[in-house]
Amino acid sequence: MFENIKQAIDRAYNEMVEIRRYLHQHPELSFKEVKTAAYIVDFYKRLNIPFKEKVGGNGIIATLKGGNPGKTIALRADFDALPIHDEKDVPYRSKVDGIMHACGHDGHTATLLMLAKVLNDFQSELPGTVVFLHQHAEEFSPGGAKPIIESGELDHVDAFFGTHLWSVTPLGHIETSKNVLMAGADRFQIILQGQGGHGSAPHETKDAIAIGAQLVTQLQHIVSRKINPLQTAVISIGKFQAGSAFNVIADKALLQGTVRYLDTSMQHKVIEEMERTIKGVCLANDITYEFEYNKGYPPLMNHEKEAELILATKDSVEDITEMNEIEPKMASEDFAYYLLEKPGAFFFTGAMKEKDIYPHHHPKFDFDERAMPIAAKTLIKAYLNYQEQHV
């Protein structure tokens, strides 16, 4: 059966590309994916595959019950876009100013939709039940995964598998891990309240910019001097706003940034050290502050047995030229929430273009569309491997 499924996926390639490019031209931001959700719903209506919409927000869950007994396994794709202006010179460039699919979620959706269409023709032969999980709002915490889980609509699922098309990994390469694959990601905001004044009289002020610069430097010392070098943490300041004129000393500064970590002990350590550092710098400079720390997605921790099922797909999917176990990436994914609930695994599908290679979240981001059928074949083979293991 799998050989026939692979051939059917290859025949569906052109339609897969057509869907991806349509979605690429019509992106929607996290929690606002109304038209995208409607497009997905309409697709399942035409296939006569039962579905539930507006799950946990804009999520869609379609269910294909196979003709043979087996487990219930969810295959997940996300479908939100990013607030980035598309700078690619391609016919399928985003038609929405300031919004684009800069992370491959259009490709994830096209892959899962066409896999559903292909598997629909093999329904009588399939073991178990395939849950096609289309998730909204992956890009912006608190994300779509958590409310979908909280809806209870996935309580019956036995395992989860998902993939991310990865534009900086060569086409034909699959990457995964038997343990932590992606980092936890938090965000924070610091507001410093000093005392402004004339640029000619700094001694009469409490310079928020100078103090903010001290704080940026001191926060970097947390990772370099407070964290065990054999452990992993990242503190990055992405935004520093202050001042209104060249000759005015600013009274207020805003700093925003992100923290990345691979285990919760590091998260707790970083928060503790940040609080101590901010308090100390502000006390030394006699200013007040506000510190807001928002915990985001947890680390994505694959389950070993399910990751092994992905690793085993190389023997059956000829398009896979390399199968690699990798070190964790410091990017984050709310697929992590599914793996806190049930067994499963996540993997990266290499989608590097032959030229004009740009990373995720870049205005010229794109990927090699030939990666989509590889992702589809790997997902369904992992599904079948799981069914065979749990007969």
* Percent above pLDDT 70 for the chain: 100
Give the pLDDT of residue 375.
98
- Of 351, 333, 345, 336, the closest CA to residue 382 belongs to 345
Residue 11 has pLDDT above 90, yes or no: yes
* Percent above pLDDT 90 for the chain: 99
229 and 110 assigned to the same domain: no
230 and 95 assigned to the same domain: no
Annotated binding-site members:
103, 105, 139, 164, 361
pLDDT tens digits, one per residue of 57-98: 999 999 999 999 999 999 999 999 999 999 999 999 999 999
42 is catalytic: no
Strand partners, 40: none
226 and 161 assigned to the same domain: no
Residues 268-278, mean pLDDT to the nearest whole number: 98
CA separation for the pair 364, 111 (Å, rounded) = 21
157's CB contacts (< 8 A; 6+ apart) are 72, 73, 74, 131, 342
> Of the candidates 237, 269, 296, which is a domain's last residue?
296
What phi and psi values does residue 140 have, to the nearest 5 degrees? -130, 115
Residue 16 has pLDDT above 90, yes or no: yes
258 and 304 assigned to the same domain: no
pLDDT tens digits, one per residue of 290-333: 999 999 999 999 999 999 999 999 999 999 999 999 999 999 99
292 and 346 assigned to the same domain: no
197 and 275 assigned to the same domain: yes
CA separation for the pair 60, 56 (Å, rounded) = 9
* CATH code of the domain containing 168: 3.40.630.10
> Of the candidates 296, 311, 326, which is a domain's last residue?
296
> Of the candidates 296, 315, 336, which is a domain's last residue?
296
DSSP letter at 83 equals S
How many domains does the structure of the chain reveal?
A: 2
139 and 195 assigned to the same domain: no
* CATH code of the domain containing 238: 3.30.70.360
Q: How confident is the model at residue 391 (pLDDT cuts 50, 70, 90)?
A: confident
138 is catalytic: yes
Residues 379-386, mean pLDDT to the nearest whole number: 98
CA separation for the pair 312, 346 (Å, rounded) = 14
Structure token pair of residue 375: 């992702």
Its domain, for residue 34, covers 2-181+299-389
pLDDT tens digits, one per residue of 131-182: 999 999 999 999 999 999 999 999 999 999 999 999 999 999 999 999 999 9
345 and 275 assigned to the same domain: no
169 and 67 assigned to the same domain: yes
Give the pLDDT of residue 330.
96
43 and 123 assigned to the same domain: yes
Structure token pair of residue 82: 């990013």
- Of 368, 379, 224, 266, the closest CA to residue 313 belongs to 379
The residue written with tokens 């409310």 in the block is 147
pLDDT tens digits, one per residue of 103-139: 999 999 999 999 999 999 999 999 999 999 999 999 9
Given the residues 28, 86, 138, 186, select the one marked as catalytic: 138
CA separation for the pair 138, 31 (Å, rounded) = 9
10 and 124 assigned to the same domain: yes
CA separation for the pair 67, 188 (Å, rounded) = 50
21 and 44 assigned to the same domain: yes
Annotated binding-site members for Mn(2+):
103, 105, 139, 164, 361
Q: Within 13 Å and on the Cβ side, how many CA atoms surround 227?
A: 27
Given the residues 80, 306, 334, 366, select the one marked as catalytic: 80
